[in-house]
């Protein structure tokens, strides 16, 4: 049951990222890419601060105690938000989102395969390679269909 719940929550998380990308793309077109990104991180910081204050249990290890390389994950959100604000305006939410998922899947498979960043190694298999190929094909078709729709509209 927990596995199914986690998969459902991950799907909901992915859906909210698509909504965020579409909204930020429009906002970035109106007020600027970096102002849109700043708003995302500012609101996120406030909401997360409240969640920490009210719900986060105490941990024996603090952010100052962990290996400093683990803090670099916080920087990874910046390029994602900025790139999505720009990309959605130019290629649409669907193509940008599938491209992001393809990039996530490729890097995730590498991280798993080599056990990078302190993760347990999960070796590359035929089914994982097939998933990469299927998603690459999906990206191609979604991109191609959006190009043909744009050409028909002209």
pLDDT digits (tens, 9 = 90+) for 97-147: 999 999 999 999 999 999 999 999 999 999 999 999 999 999 999 999 987
When the pLDDT of each residue in the chain is averaged and rounded to a whole number, the result is 93
What pLDDT, on a 0 to 100 scale, did the predictor assign at position 152? 67
- Measured distance CA(103)–CA(109) in Å, rounded: 10
What pLDDT, on a 0 to 100 scale, did the predictor assign at position 149? 65
What pLDDT, on a 0 to 100 scale, did the predictor assign at position 146? 82
What pLDDT, on a 0 to 100 scale, did the predictor assign at position 154? 61
DSSP label at 65? T
pTM equals 0.81
Q: Which helix (H) or strand (E) holds 11?
A: helix 2-31
């Amino acid at each position: 049951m927990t596995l199914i719940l986690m998969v459902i929550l991950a799907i909901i998380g992915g859906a909210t990222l698509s909504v965020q990308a579409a909204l930020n793309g429009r906002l970035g077109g109106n007020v600027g890419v970096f102002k849109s990104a700043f708003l995302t991180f500012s609101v996120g910081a406030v909401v997360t601060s409240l969640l920490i204050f009210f719900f986060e249990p105490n941990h024996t290890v603090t952010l100052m105690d962990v290996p400093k390389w683990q803090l670099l994950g916080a920087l990874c959100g910046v390029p994602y938000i900025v790139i999505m604000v720009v990309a959605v305006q130019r290629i649409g939410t669907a193509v940008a989102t599938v491209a992001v998922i393809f990039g996530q899947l490729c890097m995730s498979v590498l991280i798993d395969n080599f056990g990078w960043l302190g993760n347990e190694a999960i070796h590359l298999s035929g089914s994982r390679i097939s998933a990469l190929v299927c998603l690459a094909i999906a990206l191609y078709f979604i991109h191609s269909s959006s190009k043909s729709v744009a050409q028909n509209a002209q």
